[in-house]
Homo-oligomer: A and B are copies of this chain.
Amino acid sequence: MRKSPTRVAEDAFLRSYKPEAFERPSVAVDVVCLTIKDSLLHVLLVKRGEPPFRGRWVLPGGFVRVGKGADRGESLEQALGRELEEETGLSIDEVYTEQLGAFGDPNRDPRMRVISVAYYALVRPDLVNHVRGGGDASHAEWVPFSAELRLAFDHALILEAARTRIKERIGATDLAKSLVPSTFSIPELRNAYAIVMGEPQDAGNFRRRFGALMSEGIVELAPGKRITTSKPAAVYRFV
């Protein structure tokens, strides 16, 4: 197969291509931190102090540190870990995280070209407020999830993607593990599902599915009872 003249020219171009000579985008990591508080889905948000979008909510995030020369800088997950640590005081292996994808619209940030890699993180309710009582190095707040939230930049898009993703995943994975306290009653777990799915879950049918989780050894009975306003409920834990 003979190379066309165009092809040869292109080869030469590619060989001489020095990416260092070209403009490069800033790359950030943004994180959709989710938890359940007061039977409502909450997102961790930061209120912007300067323009653009002053006073609007944004997802916590930061630039990926890229080294120079021999220093290669940090991985995306390390950047995520930093961000999580800064905003929640939690280590990345205390929460469930998953990448949502890259958001790269040229005008998503009016100031400059930023490509953002978004993650979502699920924080167990009993870990929220545990390490950092809302103050200290963190300047983020747990805000009840709502479609009305007018986020800055394209962060509404990212939030939407997170919402869609957990809805897809909760039925098929361990994901619920990070949405209930370390010990929980069946109704509490059912409530978490209901919140994520956006509709009430039938008590009887949910129990049957829960039974499957038990016989598969995914959850087990824990000591104690959960005191409610009526009949106390048995308590379980993920193994």
- Give chain A's interface residues, CB within 8 Å of chain B: 1-2, 4, 6-7, 10, 15, 19-20, 22-27, 50, 63-68, 72-76, 99-102, 104-107, 112-115, 117, 134-137, 139
Contacts and interface: CB of A to CB of B under 8 A. Distances in A.
26 contacts: A1-B135, A4-B137, A7-B137, A15-B50, A19-B26, A19-B63, A19-B112, A22-B26, A22-B63, A22-B65, A22-B66, A23-B66, A24-B66, A25-B27, A25-B73, A27-B27, A64-B115, A66-B113, A72-B107, A73-B113, A75-B104, A76-B104, A99-B102, A100-B101, A101-B101, A102-B102
Contacts of A112: 19-20
Q: Which label, helix, strand, loop or mixed, suits the secondary structure of the A interface?
A: loop
B25 A64 contact: yes
Given A15-B50, A22-B66, 14 more contacts: A2-B135, A4-B136, A4-B137, A19-B26, A19-B114, A22-B26, A23-B68, A23-B73, A24-B24, A24-B66, A72-B113, A73-B113, A101-B101, A115-B117
Contacts of A74: 106
A7 B104 contact: no
A6 B132 CA distance: 14
A129 to B, nearest CB: 13
Contacts of A106: 67, 72-75
A54 to B, nearest CB: 13
A102 B73 contact: no
A117 B137 contact: no
A172 to B, nearest CB: 9
A67 B112 CA distance: 10
A94 B75 CA distance: 35
Nearest to A72: B106
